[in-house]
Structure 1
Amino acid sequence: MNRAVVFAGRIALVILPLVAGLAFVAQSASMRSAPAQTDRGEAVTAARVLVMEPQSYTPLLMASGTVTPARTWRAISQVSAEIAWIHPDLRAGHLIDMGTEILRMDTTDYELGLARAQAGIAGAQAQLAELETRKTSLEANLAIASRGLALAETELARRRELQGRDAASQSAVDQTEAAVLERRAQVQEIENALAMLPVQRRTQQAEQAIAEAQLAEARRNLDHTVISMPFDGRIASVGAEQGQFAGAGQELVLADDIARVEIAVPVSPDQMRGLIGEDIDITEAFTLSASDIDALPRSIGLTAEVRLNIASLQASWPARVDRLSFALDPQTRMASIVVSVDDPIRQAELNKRPPLISGMFVDVLITGPVQPDRYIVPREALGRGTDGNWGLYVLDEDDRLRHRVVQTEGFAGNAAVISAGLESGEHVVVSALPIAIEGMIIVPLQDAVLAERMSAYAAGARP
């Protein structure tokens, strides 16, 4: 009995593990023959977006430039003379009122020239008066000589008649004929003298004209020996000293008009287009008159402000856009906008606003006309294709990525103005996508902070 039990147990120890192993193999084979099916789905990417709404956009341009006087006066010596007197305030940096005499030159030589010219005029006038007197005298002598000639000719005719009747000798006739010839010579001489009078008169008149021109020149030279300020100005430099001899053509004084200063700021054609807007056709300016072109900035509606930042001091001046330059600089390929500030020195305020003088480097803020129905997007959302067109990514109604070509109106800072290519309510992708595939699904995440920044930009702020 015991032996049978032990034998059966030994058989079980062999068979049971074998059966279990076969069962495990069978189960594994079953699992391999019928694998489980897993639905992995379509890839989805999250991205920040802006919801587009048309806005009224105020274009601004911030540029820098150097203050220059709107008008500069160079006092050039027009005579050669010694500097006799200089105004005590005639020094660089001083302000001098309009009409103030600032410099006088020695007048001795020009006063002598004035006296010579006056003497020349007096001499010519005396000669003309003498010619008139001589004319009267010659006319009287001519009348007498003509009368004597007539009497002599009558006597000669009577003597010849008597000679025909043998009542007069030949010698008497010859003597009378000689007297007639002498009378004729006298008359001819007087007539010749009278004929010369118009020529002599024209000569004296020319002499008088020369003397009068010399007199005018002498007076003009005397006027040029005194130099006065043509406007309220700031002395920029002085090129003469008292007692120094100044030659004609020498620069004596350089002064700046303080009534107005100008700042020319460079702008690119794209910046100009963004400031003016596409609603205004700038090419029409080339068909306008000169006065209309001059008034073009004001008719467009450009305004300006000049700003100065020096350490803790921040000052500003109201300015106006004076003119536009349609010519490009050959080196920088930039045009320019010229703004002006009136009374830049008189607007100075202690500890608030310094005098705006020539040479200062300032910022200029130019504001263009408000442009309706514009879309503002971050600049990094745009990309330029190989065809040169600007484009960005939008989402369709299924939140799938679509590329869109848009028309930009300008850039400033990190924002761009879109004038065409977008519609209200569209979602513009503003995230940098690692892989952008047309039609891929995007989970839109609206960026409220960025939307506020773009709205502020449209209203005039600059990011």
Structure 2
Amino acid sequence: MKSARLWGTWGKRLLVFPPIILAIIAYAWLVKHSPPLAMHAEEEASRMLETIVVERMDVRPMVSGFGTAKYARSWRAVTQVEGRIRKIHPELRAGSRIQDAELLLEIDDSDYQSRVDELNAAIDRQNAEIEQLKQSLLNNQKKLALENEVLEILQREFDREQTLLSQQAGSGSSFDAKRRELLAQVNAVQDLGNSIALIKPQTKALQAGLRQSEVQKEQALRDIERTKITAPFDMLVGSVQLEVGQFVSVGEQLFVGYSGTEMEVEVQLPLQDIHRLFVSESGDVEPRQTLTPETFRKMFQFDALVKVNGTNSTESYHGRFLRVREIVDTQTKMVGFVVGVENVSPPEQKTPQPPLLEGAFCDVDIFGTPLPDQVVIPRRAIRNDSVYLVDDQNRLTQKNIRLTFAQDDYAVVASGLDDGETLVIVNPSPAIIGMLVTPIQSHEDAKKLIASVIAGDDALNAGDDALIAGDDALIAGDDALRTDTETPLPKTDRQD
């Protein structure tokens, strides 16, 4: 009974092994008789990247900045004489335009005219005294000649009396009388000589006084000229508070005049950006010993485009680089570039344009010398002084480049890149050198690059065209006026 129970327990446990043994036999048979594994090559994935073809273009360096317009020439009318104002130009009012050499105001010159008359009388008197001294000199010289002859006669008579006295043939009293006559004559001759000698310094003193009077007369005449104040150039008048009869003193400021056609804008430019303007000039700079102001102006004839900031106006003014300020601002590290602008007068304008006035805050673009045939790429394609390219096998490559300069949305490449290469303009993150790339030409980015390069030149050329058109219109107007002048009038008009 007990053995039957034990056998039943172990018998159930042994039933597990047959399935396991059968599974092992089946697995061994399948491994031995299974077909070999097939090898399939995996296809390489390709990245799609936006690209453009590198091209060469003509580039013009440009630097932009801001500045405030002011008049290039200003003139402060300051009185050099005192007196009452006798006459004032009818247009001498704030904002008026007055032509060159027009009489602005006149101060009463009666006192200065009287001074001239007084000095003329003094000069006449001194001339008469000099003539009198000259005549006295001639008279004394003639008289001296006669007195010398008398002296010779008396000297001979005295010598005879002395001989007779030595021979004891004459008297002492006669000898003494002759000697007294001789001494008296010698004294007379000496007096005449002294008088003649004194005439020369007296003449010099009178001549010195005469020159002093003439200088005072010249001063008085200059004072008379200073009573009339004329315009030194075509000017725009500032504030004026003058009336006829008003007394003005020496050194008093009357008004200020400005050259309304010549304006200057001092543009503050970043020091690190100025080098772009000098890229084309760096190889032609003369040695320091021969770099004169004239050669400096010839080397750096930069054009400029001036726009008034803060308005909705699209008016632009053509400008010209004039000079560089002498210092760098210690706080902003900016350099002042002075740009000159000439306001075109209304008759010379093809289309009406308001003048550039003092105090206008301006946006100024300064253009350097054009650089022909340059490799130009978008700035956003540069990655740490290198760019990504697509080679002939459509594989991603990388090149280090060196830039000439970068401005706005583009950069000019000095070395490391040539035209015709396919440039990746987006960041291929992650960038794996050698990976397969499907280049997608971005025509939109290529157009934007070209537009960015030529935008400045187009604006500058538009300003030049407007200026030339104004000159053509002025010439045409002159020709028309000349034609009208040469055309004979009708008979009735000539009779009138």
Q: Are 2:108 and 1:106 equivalent residues in the alignment?
A: yes
Q: Name 1:170's counterpart in structure 2.
A: 172
Taking the aligned partners of 1:110 and 1:89, their CA distance within structure 2 comes to 27
Q: Name 1:73's counterpart in structure 2.
A: 75
Q: Name 1:414's counterpart in structure 2.
A: 409
**What does 1:6-17 correspond to in 2, within 5 Å?**
none
How far 1:55 moved relative to its partner?
2.4
- Secondary structure in 2 aligned to 1:56? strand
Q: Name 2:322's counterpart in structure 1.
A: 323
Correspondent of 2:386 among 375, 391, 400: 391
- Secondary structure in 1 aligned to 2:388? strand
Taking the aligned partners of 2:371 and 2:439, their CA distance within structure 1 comes to 29
How far 1:278 moved relative to its partner?
4.0
- Secondary structure in 1 aligned to 2:165? helix
Q: Which amino acid aligns with 1:212?
A: E
| Deviation digits for residues 38-80 of structure 1 (CA, Å, limit 9, x no counterpart) | 9877775443222212223344455443333332222232234
Taking the aligned partners of 1:90 and 1:279, their CA distance within structure 2 comes to 48
Q: Which amino acid aligns with 1:288?
A: L
Correspondent of 1:296 among 289, 294, 299: 299
- Secondary structure in 2 aligned to 1:283? coil
Q: Name 2:469's counterpart in structure 1.
A: none
Q: Name 2:484's counterpart in structure 1.
A: none
- Secondary structure in 1 aligned to 2:77? strand
Tell which deviates more after alignment, 247-256 or 177-186.
Answer: 247-256
Aligned residues: 438
Q: Are 2:55 and 1:56 equivalent residues in the alignment?
A: no
**What does 1:120-269 correspond to in 2, within 5 Å?**
120-238=122-240, 242-268=244-270
Taking the aligned partners of 2:437 and 2:281, their CA distance within structure 1 comes to 35
Taking the aligned partners of 1:98 and 1:437, their CA distance within structure 2 comes to 74
**1:457 to 1:442, Cα distance in 2 relative to 1, 3 A:** same
**What does 1:75-90 correspond to in 2, within 5 Å?**
75-90=77-92
Q: Name 1:381's counterpart in structure 2.
A: 381
Matched-pair identity in %? 27
- Which structure 1 segments of 5+ residues have no match? 1-14, 385-389
**What does 1:258-407 correspond to in 2, within 5 Å?**
258-268=260-270, 271-278=273-280, 281=283, 283-284=285-286, 286=288, 287-298=290-301, 302-308=302-308, 311=311, 313-317=313-317, 319-325=318-324, 329-331=328-330, 332-346=332-346, 352-384=352-384, 390-407=385-402
TM-score normalised by L of structure 2? 0.75
Q: Name 2:95's counterpart in structure 1.
A: 93
Q: Kindly indicate whether the alpha-carbon contact (under 8 Å) linking 1:56 and 1:370 is maintained by their aligned counterparts in 2.
A: yes
Taking the aligned partners of 2:420 and 2:278, their CA distance within structure 1 comes to 27
Taking the aligned partners of 1:355 and 1:138, their CA distance within structure 2 comes to 79
TM-score normalised by L of structure 1? 0.80
Taking the aligned partners of 2:440 and 2:350, their CA distance within structure 1 comes to 52
How far 1:227 moved relative to its partner?
0.6
Q: Kindly indicate whether the alpha-carbon contact (under 8 Å) linking 1:344 and 1:356 is maintained by their aligned counterparts in 2.
A: no
Q: Which amino acid aligns with 1:183?
A: Q
Taking the aligned partners of 2:186 and 2:59, their CA distance within structure 1 comes to 106
| Deviation digits for residues 322-363 of structure 1 (CA, Å, limit 9, x no counterpart) | 434385523344445544344534467698311233333344
Correspondent of 1:431 among 420, 426, 431: 426
- Which structure 2 segments of 5+ residues have no match? 1-14, 459-496
- Secondary structure in 1 aligned to 2:55? coil
Q: Kindly indicate whether the alpha-carbon contact (under 8 Å) linking 1:268 and 1:335 is maintained by their aligned counterparts in 2.
A: yes
**1:462 to 1:236, Cα distance in 2 relative to 1, 3 A:** same
How far 1:142 moved relative to its partner?
1.0
- Secondary structure in 1 aligned to 2:314? strand
- Secondary structure in 1 aligned to 2:105? strand
Q: Kindly indicate whether the alpha-carbon contact (under 8 Å) linking 2:161 and 2:175 is maintained by their aligned counterparts in 1.
A: yes
| Deviation digits for residues 139-184 of structure 1 (CA, Å, limit 9, x no counterpart) | 1221222222222222222323333454432112112211111110
Q: Which amino acid aligns with 2:454?
A: A
How far 1:198 moved relative to its partner?
1.6
Q: Kindly indicate whether the alpha-carbon contact (under 8 Å) linking 1:376 and 1:455 is maintained by their aligned counterparts in 2.
A: no
* CA RMSD after TM alignment: 3.9
Q: Name 1:8's counterpart in structure 2.
A: none
Taking the aligned partners of 1:329 and 1:258, their CA distance within structure 2 comes to 29
Q: Kindly indicate whether the alpha-carbon contact (under 8 Å) linking 1:348 and 1:355 is maintained by their aligned counterparts in 2.
A: no
Taking the aligned partners of 2:224 and 2:281, their CA distance within structure 1 comes to 59
How far 1:226 moved relative to its partner?
1.1
How far 1:281 moved relative to its partner?
2.5
**1:54 to 1:164, Cα distance in 2 relative to 1, 3 A:** closer
| Deviation digits for residues 108-128 of structure 1 (CA, Å, limit 9, x no counterpart) | 443343233223322221221
**1:461 to 1:227, Cα distance in 2 relative to 1, 3 A:** closer
Q: Which amino acid aligns with 1:330?
A: D
How far 1:246 moved relative to its partner?
3.7
Taking the aligned partners of 2:386 and 2:347, their CA distance within structure 1 comes to 48
**1:119 to 1:346, Cα distance in 2 relative to 1, 3 A:** farther
Q: Which amino acid aligns with 2:426?
A: S
- Secondary structure in 2 aligned to 1:89? coil
| Deviation digits for residues 404-437 of structure 1 (CA, Å, limit 9, x no counterpart) | 3322233332222223221223222221344345
- Secondary structure in 2 aligned to 1:231? coil
Q: Kindly indicate whether the alpha-carbon contact (under 8 Å) linking 2:85 and 2:244 is maintained by their aligned counterparts in 1.
A: yes
How far 1:190 moved relative to its partner?
0.5
**1:45 to 1:364, Cα distance in 2 relative to 1, 3 A:** same
- Secondary structure in 2 aligned to 1:78? coil
Correspondent of 2:450 among 433, 441, 455: 455
Q: Name 2:439's counterpart in structure 1.
A: 444
Taking the aligned partners of 2:250 and 2:399, their CA distance within structure 1 comes to 70
Q: Which amino acid aligns with 2:408?
A: G
Taking the aligned partners of 1:218 and 1:254, their CA distance within structure 2 comes to 26
